[in-house]
Amino acid sequence: MTAEPGGEAVTKEAPAGADQEWPQAPDDPTAPTVGVGPWVGPRPPDPRLDPALLAADDRRNVIDRYRYWTVAAIVADLDSRRAGLQVAIQNWEHDFNIGSIVRTANAFNVAALHILGRRRWNRRGAMVTDRYLHLQHHLDVASLRAALGSTPLIGVDNVPGADHLETTRLPWSCCLLFGSEGPGLTDEALAACAQVVAIGQYGSTRSLNAGAAAAIAMYHWSQTNRASAGPDSPSGNGLAP
């Protein structure tokens, strides 16, 4: 979008071939296919299945096991094996990384996701994964701390005095708190944390991208609490060891 003389914004077409989607020709073997089409044959008598999806198709961002399932059925199944981990994100600056963090939280099947600060957040990067999480909003740090009860709040920020994440054994039940891109956690949030951990860095940059840092921290929690569990074992699916 550019501004022509006179101040009006004009949208110009991108040059041919720029930022185009993958070719969708049926004979293209590299064209990605996601999901399934309409159900073929007699409808299965499974109450978890959505009649509308069976009749149309299911192209949602879910694993194949959940094809045609209703959102409620998927959430109920995830609830049966949620992690002990919760995730909280400070949303003071409408950070574009929040959607990415939410998507990662879904991948690790966290028990709850807390948005601290502004209620509205950029959902594009979440790819609709937030609908399968238990999302809570808190106006201030005090209300977040009260909602967590006895669950320890652990800040993730590379501030002086922070413990090394790599050598920290994160407890099964805890809430990882991530700050906004750039400024990190506020002083009030840091004061509310039982512990603050930092990810080791060895280059010249001052900080990691917030979405990348969140993924590393959640993976570290998973390694601490699920290291010996296979993907199909009870603890690997989110149950306490």
Q: Does 65 share its domain with 115? A: no
The whole domain housing 142 covers 82-230
Each residue of 78-94: pLDDT tens digit?
999 999 999 999 986 66
Q: Does 140 share its domain with 59? A: no
Tokens of 95: 């950070």
Q: Does 94 share its domain with 165? A: yes
Tokens of 14: 């991108």
Tell me whether residue 53 is in a domain: yes
Tell me whether residue 134 is in a domain: yes
122 contacts 94 by C-beta, under 8 angstroms: yes
Tell me whether residue 74 is in a domain: yes
Q: Does 138 share its domain with 181? A: yes
Neighbours of 43 (CB within 10 A): 11
Cα 165 to chain centroid, rounded: 20
Residue where the block lists tokens 């969140």: 214
Q: Does 53 share its domain with 163? A: no
CATH of the domain at 211: 3.40.1280.10
Each residue of 87-142: pLDDT tens digit?
999 986 666 788 999 999 999 999 999 999 888 887 888 999 999 999 999 999 99
Each residue of 23-73: pLDDT tens digit?
344 455 555 578 999 999 999 999 999 999 999 999 999 999 999 999 999
Tokens of 71: 């959102």
Q: Does 219 share its domain with 117? A: yes
Domain count, the chain: 2
Q: Does 142 share its domain with 56? A: no
Backbone phi, then psi, for 166, in 5-degree steps?
-60, -30
